């Protein structure tokens, strides 16, 4: 089956297109975009030829913005910028993550005002098509610059890349694929390190994780609700309609669909007046997280629709204007990602609370730690400890990055968004939430062993069958890490149960 194609056109592209490219979609340019790139590029070349003071074209960068360059230096600075700025450290990103960053660069450049040449965009697209991804160390960005510089390094044939499952010198990989290294022109080195493409690309991956985990969380929560004898009145559509937030309505409908036809729910109707909040308020908690995801989508789509280079080349009539401004500042997305990280931490936190109720016989009405012969068997006792530990780690990761600040470039850049660190910790946090949900999934699945043969709901029955196709129930204690890893692996894929 051929890979899907994302054609970059004049209209803004949503975050899902970036994820599609990260996942292997091919990229093409609409002719109108290629024309727009050419118009802005010719404007940059005209400004460079006139020799007027223009940041990053005829001047140095950052604190060196008052240093005027000669004609020869105008070309040299582009290459030097990429080399000097490619200084990230730490564990390299996975190729999928790098593809998302490269997709963010393509979308940013194709707006036009960066003034970058079509040849640079074509080179990035060619690398994606050939499966070549620059090796980008993961640490070292205050919101922009260092990570995308490593992409620029690959374009000129330097550094290292992933190619065919191996890490190779870039020159070797380009030669094997018949790709000639680029010679960068005026401003192109600056554009390759500037703007928010890295932050935006990473944010798209965070959204993909959050959306998938929210789908799984609703289903797993419905399982826990069911086996804990939850009172379905809490999900009454008319009552939830009075909570005027779309996420609440959405989650309530999903829970009702998952539990439709449940003999277990029917048998427990009226068993108690109301449940504990971790059970009763699933629509309100999960719904708030859905609304946080929707708010982040709006911010990220807005960033992808933005030209975030500095300076920008504006063609608004008359002579082209080069405008120095601060569009590379990523505050909007940084704030959104910090809020989403808090929301995801809540998703994991309430999952751990439900899990605690599942294993506690004092509130569950189920055998202690979900095993028939407790005492000689510990069952899910320590698995809940694991979830609690990871939930605690998430409290640390939920601390906002955007409220921090440092001074860089000799006082020239004295306020930073820290958006890229916000995105990276959100991705790590999402991975932790997946693990917590995996423990709850296993425990809720185990609880069905004690339901006396009563039929689960339409959606929960499918979720249980999906789990049992990969992990058998626990009869006596066994090595649990493989079971937890298997459940974690299931949650790494899209939720198979449509609600």
Same-domain check for residues 140 and 227: no
pLDDT one-digit tens code per residue, 277-323: 999 999 999 999 999 999 999 999 999 999 999 999 999 877 888 89
Percent of the chain at pLDDT > 90 equals: 84
Residue whose structure tokens are 């593809």: 99
Total-model pTM? 0.96
CA–CA separation, 122 and 128 (whole Å): 10
SS (H, E, C) 199-234: HHHHHHHHHHHHHHHHHHHHHHHHHHHHHCCCCHHH
The percent of residues above 70 in pLDDT, for the chain, comes to: 98
Tell me, yes or no, whether 87 and 128 share the same domain. yes
Band of pLDDT at residue 62, cut at 50, 70 and 90: low
> Does residue 263 share a domain with residue 160?
no
Cα dihedral 156→159→164→167 (10° resolution): 180
Residues 242 and 390 in one domain: yes
- Which comes out higher in pLDDT, residue 76 or 270? 270
Residues 359 and 457 in one domain: yes
| Residues 14, 159 within the same domain | yes
Q: Are residues 75 and 183 in the same domain?
A: yes
Q: What angle do CA 373, 374, 376 make, to 5 degrees?
A: 85
Last residue of a domain, one of 194, 221, 250: 194
Residues 482 and 497: their CA atoms lie apart, in Å, by 24
Q: Residue 55 catalytic?
A: yes
Name the helix (H) or strand (E) containing 292.
Answer: helix 282-304
Distance (Å, whole) CA 143 – CA 238? 45
- Predicted local distance difference test score (pLDDT) of residue 65: 67
In a domain, 429, yes or no: yes
Where in the sequence is the domain holding 61, given as residue range(s)? 5-194
CATH number of the structural domain spanning residue 226: 1.20.200.10
Catalytic one of 55, 144, 441, 448: 55
Residues 188 and 209 in one domain: no
Identify whether 46 is preceded by a cis peptide bond (ω within 30 of 0).
no
Three-state helix/strand/coil letters over 146-188: HHHHHHHHHHCCCCEEEECCEEEEHHHHHHHCCCCCCCCCCCH
- Asked if 161 and 239 sit in the same domain, the reply is no
Q: What is the mean pLDDT of the chain?
A: 94
CB contact at 8 A, 148 and 97:
no
State whether the Cα torsion 424-430-431-433 is positive or negative. Answer: positive
Evaluate whether residue 314 is within a structural domain: yes
Mean of pLDDT values over 405-424: 80
Is residue 1 scored above 80 in pLDDT? no
Identify whether the C-beta of residue 156 lies closer than 8 Å to the C-beta of residue 106: no
190 and 300 inside one domain: no
Cα separation, 265 vs 450, whole angstroms: 14
The pLDDT tens digits of the residues spanning 136-169 come to 999 988 878 899 999 999 999 999 999 999 999 9
- Tell me, yes or no, whether 390 lies in a domain: yes
Task: Count the domains in the chain.
Answer: 2
> Between 458-468 and 419-447, two packed helices, what is the crossing angle to 10 degrees?
90
> Are 185 and 220 contained in the same domain?
no
């Amino acid at each position: 089956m051929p890979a899907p194609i994302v054609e970059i056109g004049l209209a803004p592209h949503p975050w899902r297109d970036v994820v599609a490219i990260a996942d292997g979609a091919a990229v093409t340019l609409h002719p109108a975009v290629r024309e727009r790139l050419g118009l802005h590029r010719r404007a940059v070349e005209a400004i460079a030829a006139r020799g007027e003071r223009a940041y990053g074209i005829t001047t140095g960068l950052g604190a060196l913005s008052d240093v005027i360059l000669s004609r020869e230096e105008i070309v040299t600075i582009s290459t030097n910028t990429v080399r000097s700025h490619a200084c990230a450290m730490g564990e390299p990103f996975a190729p999928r993550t790098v593809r998302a960053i490269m997709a963010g660069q393509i979308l940013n450049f194709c707006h036009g005002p960066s003034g970058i040449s079509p040849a640079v965009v074509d080179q990035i697209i060619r690398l994606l098509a050939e499966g070549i991804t620059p090796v980008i160390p993961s640490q070292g960005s205050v919101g922009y610059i260092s990570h995308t510089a490593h992409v620029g390094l690959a374009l000129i044939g330097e550094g290292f890349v992933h190619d065919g499952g191996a890490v190779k010198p870039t020159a070797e990989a380009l030669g094997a694929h018949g790709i000639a290294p680029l010679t960068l022109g005026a401003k192109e080195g600056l554009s390759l390190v500037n703007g928010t493409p890295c932050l935006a690309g990473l944010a798209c991956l965070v959204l993909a994780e959050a959306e998938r985990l929210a789908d799984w969380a609703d289903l797993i929560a419905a399982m826990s609700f069911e086996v804990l004898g939850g009172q379905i009145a809490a999900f009454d559509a008319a009552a939830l309609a009075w909570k005027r937030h779309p996420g609440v309505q959405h989650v309530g409908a999903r829970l009702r669909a998952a539990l439709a036809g449940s003999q277990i729910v029917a048998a427990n109707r009226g068993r108690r007046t109301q449940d504990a909040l971790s059970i009763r308020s699933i629509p309100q908690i999960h719904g708030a997280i859905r609304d946080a995801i929707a708010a982040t989508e709006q911010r990220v789509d807005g960033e992808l629709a933005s030209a975030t280079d500095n300076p920008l080349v504006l063609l608004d009539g008359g002579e082209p204007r080069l405008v120095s401004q601060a569009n590379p500042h990523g505050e909007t997305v940084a704030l959104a990602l910090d809020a989403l990280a808090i929301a995801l931490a809540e998703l994991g936190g309430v999952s751990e609370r439900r899990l605690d109720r599942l294993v506690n016989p004092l509130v569950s009405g189920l055998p202690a730690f979900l095993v028939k012969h407790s005492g000689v068997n510990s069952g899910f006792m320590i698995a809940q400890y694991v979830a609690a530990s990871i939930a605690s780690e998430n409290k640390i990761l939920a601390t906002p990055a955007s409220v921090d600040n440092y001074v860089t470039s000799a006082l020239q850049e004295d306020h930073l968004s820290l958006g890229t660190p916000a995105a990276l910790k959100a991705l790590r946090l999402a991975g932790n939430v997946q693990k917590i949900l995996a423990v709850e999934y296993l425990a809720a699945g185990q609880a069905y062993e004690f339901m006396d043969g009563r039929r689960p709901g339409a959606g929960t029955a499918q979720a249980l069958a999906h789990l049992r196709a990969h992990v058998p129930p626990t009869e006596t204690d066994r090595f649990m890490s493989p079971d937890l890893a298997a459940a974690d692996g299931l949650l790494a894929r899209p939720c198979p149960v449509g609600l």
